[in-house]
Amino acid sequence: MNLSSGAILVLSGPSGAGKSSLISKIIDHIGPTYFSISTTTRAIRAGETDGVHYHFVTEEEFKREIDQEMFLEYAVVHGNYYGTSLGPVKQALKEGKLVIFDIDVQGHDAVQNRLADITTSVFITTPTLAELKKRLHNRLTDSEEVIAKRIEMAKREVQRVSEYDFLVVNDDLDRAAEILVSIAKAARMKIPTLQINEFVQTWEAQA
């Protein structure tokens, strides 16, 4: 079956698990994609660019967009708002692209509720909690207080791995990237229920 519509790949996992590194490594090997850039109220970090890493807005602006129902999903994480704008996602799907989300477990719930038919989900994590703690400290981007919050969040998130289609343990970056490329290619082949029903009807009609 030749599909012209796009598909969705959700990537979740603890901060520090290496999701961004994996995305950078696979992006040129999985065909036409649209990486969904989240909108956030958190402060911009050194080395980040507005409109590339995130869309940075004030809390007032974010809440106004919530009222206007402009988000596919949104959540409050570590005291800051994060959300996914709906318009660009719809356009990318119409163009047959693989839409990649880097979102938390709450965001995954929201996407599954709205677009489960075309969504494949992956939970990415370190091999151990100790390794996650090591990576968070080595990043040198967060205070001890923020790191402690991220670790507690990670402990809660990992309890929900079973809700995802795949688990990728990012122990070896190259190997994890190979696995993720395979998953991304398979995600493009996921057939929505409506198209399956149409195929069955056509198949039966040609008895």
What domains appear along the chain, each with residue ranges and CATH number? 7-36+96-205 (3.40.50.300)
For residue 3, name the pLDDT band (cuts at 50, 70, 90): very low
Could you read off the pLDDT of 44-99 as tens digits, one per residue?
988 899 988 888 999 999 999 999 988 988 888 889 999 888 888 889 999 999 99
Structural contact between residues 30 and 120, judged by C-beta atoms closer than 8 angstroms: no
Residue given tokens 């969904």 in the structure block? 36
Q: What angle do CA 196, 198, 201 make, to 5 degrees?
A: 110
For residue 1, name the pLDDT band (cuts at 50, 70, 90): very low
Q: How far apart are CA 46 and CA 145, in angstroms?
A: 19
